[in-house]
Copies of this chain bind each other. A is one copy, B any other.
Amino acid sequence: MKKPYFKQNAEDPPPLKGRVTRRIRFEEVDMLTIAWHGHYTSYFEDARVLLGQNYGIGYMDLYAQGILTPIKTVHVDFIRPLKFMDKITIEGILHYSQAAKINSEYIIYNPQGEIAATGFTVQMMLNTDYELYLTQPEFYKNFCDQWRAGKIK
């Protein structure tokens, strides 16, 4: 069995999830007639943006609070190829963390509902002087407290 991308502690609230669909574009498909691997970071981003929108912690929400959230790590495991015009479903899974970072997991489903790829990103938090937050900034801590208290699902 595959090792999970993120460790879930017993006391952590369940992850937050969201799904978005997208169609594979002609320009995304390579000479082997499959989606080029580098585009999957964009597929992941669609789900991350959706989660951000749904929970009020999107790029622009955090930016408005003086919090920048650049990607620290991205990882993609490719399982089944995707073809031109495939309508894919991208699931974003936000994992709880007490640290000043955002741990997101992704699952891409092909039109048959099979897993086409999985992966994760880790985002840091910086202030507008590009200094690393060592603990969660207040705005994001409030969000996590609500989440842990079961008020956000």
Contacts and interface: CB of A to CB of B under 8 A. Distances in A.
Which range contains the number of A residues in contact with the other chain?
20 to 34
Contact of A45 (B29, B31, B38, B49): B38
Contact of A70 (B38, B60, B78, B84): B78
Contacts of A33: 31
A31 B46 CA distance: 17
A26 B59 contact: yes
A47 B71 CA distance: 22
B77 A76 contact: no
Interface string A73-101: 11111100100110000000000000000
Nearest to A38: B41
A26 B45 contact: yes
A149 interface: no
Interface of A: 25-27, 29-34, 36-42, 45-46, 49, 59-60, 68, 70-78, 81, 84-85
Closest 7 CB pairs of A and B: A38-B41, A37-B71, A75-B75, A27-B36, A74-B76, A31-B33, A73-B77
12 contacts: A25-B46, A26-B49, A27-B36, A30-B30, A31-B84, A34-B70, A37-B71, A38-B38, A49-B85, A60-B84, A74-B76, A75-B76
